[in-house]
Amino acid sequence: MEKFENVTYFNHPLIQHKISILRKKETGTNEFRHLVEEIAMLEGFEALNDLPLEEVEIETPIEKCKTPMISGRKLAIVPILRAGLGMVEGILALVPSAKIGHIGLYRDEETFEPHEYYCKLPSPIEERTIVVCDPMLATGGSAIDAITMIKKHGGRNIKFMCIIAAPEGVKALHEAHPDVQIYIGHLDRCLNEHAYICPGLGDAGDRIFGTK
């Protein structure tokens, strides 16, 4: 797989271990949901390592002092529905004041093309750091369309966070949006004839919500 400057792969053992449990077909809905949330928090810890700080004056029980606090640009978390919803609480645990947008996309089962059914973003979107999340980056079509939509609304500072990616999706997303920082829990082997990630974990939305 070609190396791209804007792509971060997590090799932390805790993330890798949790992803392995996610993959198991016997992992049930409740455990699956908790794992997705925990992985999102661990990835978010790294993905948000460039949030700007400012020195703020506070008073400790001992004396007044200046101390760093997160400042300036505000955060928007934008899950791609449905499966991206599973990652929101994990990121919110790190930045509870973040605003949340939603982009509704589903992939046509035959053409694998994404179809939009919802878009609501917090304003002013152009002043926010935006974390788009979706556990799966397969062909890349959904992530590409979601980010195109956000840019049309004025979003500029965009990060994309996923749990499992296929090489095809990473390449396509990088080529379509080279300005977007991409965070990937694990890079899998390839896509199959149904555009599912191999070995993957199956349909993330169905596993999070217990559908199908």
Ligand X SMILES: O=c1cc[nH]c(=O)[nH]1
Residues with catalytic roles: 107, 111, 203, 206
Of 113, 114, 112, nearest in space to 104 by CA: 114
Identify which range of 4-12, 32-40, 45-53, 199-207 contacts ligand X by CB under 6 A: 199-207
User: Any contact of residue 196 with ligand X (CB under 6 A)?
Assistant: yes
Of 97, 101, 155, 103, nearest in space to 129 by CA: 155
44 in a labelled binding site: no
For the chain, where are the alpha helices, taking DSSP H only?
A: 13-23, 29-47, 85-92, 141-152, 167-176, 204-209
User: Any contact of residue 203 with ligand X (CB under 6 A)?
Assistant: yes
CA dihedral 166, 80, 202, 136 (to 10 degrees): 20
Nearer to ligand X, 38 or 203 (CB): 203
Q: Rounded CA gap, 88 and 93, in Å?
A: 9
User: Any contact of residue 86 with ligand X (CB under 6 A)?
Assistant: no
- Of residues 136, 161, 162, 170, which one binds ligand X by CB under 6 A? 136
Q: Rounded CA gap, 144 and 147, in Å?
A: 5
Binding interface with ligand PRP (CB under 6 A): 80-83, 105-107, 112, 114, 134-143, 169, 195, 203-205
User: Any contact of residue 203 with Mg ion (CB under 5 A)?
Assistant: yes
Burial bucket for residue 101 (CB in 10 Å: 0-12, 13-18, 19+): buried
195 in a labelled binding site: no
Residue 155 touches which of ligand X, Mg ion, ligand PRP, none (Cβ within 5-8 Å per kind): none
Q: Which residues bind ligand X (CB under 6 A)?
A: 83, 136, 138, 196-197, 200, 203-205
